[in-house]
Amino acid sequence: MGGEMGRIPGRVPAVPPTLADVAEVAGVSRQTVSNAVNNPDLLRADTLVRVQDAIEELGYSPNRAARNLRTRASHLVGLRMTPGQEFTANAAIDRFVHSLVETAGEAGYHVLLFAGDGNDPLRGYDDLLRSTAVDAFVVTDTYLGNPQAAWLRERRAPFVAFGRPWDDPDATHPWVDVDGAAGAELATRHLLDRGHTKIAWIGWRKDSFIGEDRRAGWSRALKDRGLSTTAMASRVEDTVNSGREASAVLLDEARPSAFVCASDTLAMGVLHTLADRGLRAGEDVAVVGFDDSQVAQVVHPGLTSVRQPLEDVAIRVVAALEGLLAHPPRVGPGILLTPTLAVRGSS
């Protein structure tokens, strides 16, 4: 924002004031407000007074403990972590977090992890936003319908999403995502090229944006070859046992020679079913998963799986954050990256 906006008398937000509110009232950047709170000696005296007046007018209350976490040479970016789901093989978020921390560190940022609550997607954001604990957020669970995005936009809080704004095509916040449909299509074409013509799909329930996106890639690949998808698909919960049960039914009723799954978790369930029936993965029935988890890399005979370019996602997310925190802010278009296929013995 820059310029000599000055203070706006009587301006009191309907929600608790944020760092962005102070910046707007004082006519300075968010970083200048952060410096006024954390490193006041970096500012000119008149600028510091203007920011302090805005803080007093709005009743903005920085969190002292969070303030002490900051240093002159770094920014903090908040990332909400939810508990891992039991009985699953999905650990893609762990690889992303590691890549994000590493990439952010190279750019002079630290990532501040805070706890998530599956019943309250907004838990933790408010406390951090009302303090100077973070300059921006990275939002990852956009598959939930992304209530965080609308909530953060209302408060003018900078954030970048790992995941498309599935339920809001007009959203203007920066995002980076992986093309799940392209990944599932790549997996299916791999099996088609190996001579399979009856390829079943095991995916997530219909209300899953990501699951339906991945299913579309499987369907597109089969239809492009003139093959039917009728009675060849199942939608279940993302657990090993669900994959086990779904694959047993499909083997009995549709008799596919191959499976493409929306996750490595479901694919592990298929491998269990094949073992129960004395069938060999990769020889009697082919199996492909999604996410290239550590389990996929070590299970016998090795699970072929779609690998998301999470290191590249982290690089793009950090670049978008740098743009958001620039003065003036820069917001680029959403970025959709293409996955690859890690081929192993199961296919």
Using CA atoms, how far apart are residues 299 and 171, in angstroms rounded to an integer? 41
pLDDT in tens, 288-303: 999 999 899 999 999 9
pLDDT at 271 over 80: yes
- Find the mean pLDDT for residues 199-226: 96
- Paired strand residues for 138: 79, 160
pLDDT at 128: 81
Kindly report, residue by residue over 156-209, the tens digit of the pLDDT. 888 999 998 887 778 889 999 999 999 999 999 999 999 999 999 999 999 888
Structural domains for the chain: 19-62 (1.10.260), 71-177+310-338 (3.40.50.2300), 180-307 (3.40.50.2300)
pLDDT attached to residue 140? 86
Q: Are strands 199-204 and 258-261 parallel, antiparallel or unpaired?
A: parallel
Q: What is the pLDDT of residue 252?
A: 97
Q: What are phi and psi of 247, to 5 degrees?
A: -70, -35
Closest to 97 (Cα-Cα) out of 331, 322, 319, 318: 318
pTM for the complete prediction? 0.76
Percent of the chain scoring above 90 in pLDDT: 53
Tell me the C-alpha distance between 278 and 58, whole Å.
Answer: 70
Range in 29-43, 263-277, 315-329, 333-347 the model is least confident about: 29-43
Of residues 104 and 146, which shows the higher confidence score? Answer: 104
Report which of residues 108 and 310 the model is more confident about: 310
Element (H, E) at 69: helix 64-69
- pLDDT greater than 70 at residue 336: yes
- Eight-class DSSP state of 84: P
Which token pair is 200?
A: 């079943």
Residue pLDDT, tens place only, 48-94? 999 999 988 888 776 533 443 333 333 789 998 876 665 555 667 88
Cα 257 from Cα 195, distance rounded (Å)? 10
145-149 own/partner pairs: CB under 8 Å, 24+ apart: 147/121, 147/122, 148/80, 148/121, 148/122, 149/173
- Whether pLDDT at 11 is above 50: no
Residue of 228, 222, 227, 273 whose CA lies nearest to 250:
273
Helix, strand, coil in percent for the chain, rounding step 5: 45, 15, 40
Q: Is 292 left (phi over 0), alpha (psi -120 to 50) or beta?
A: left
Residue-wise DSSP of 251-262: HHHT--SEEEES
- Between CA 267 and CA 286 the distance in angstroms is 10
The three-class DSSP label of residue 305 is: strand
Q: Are 258 and 191 in contact (CB under 8 A)?
A: yes
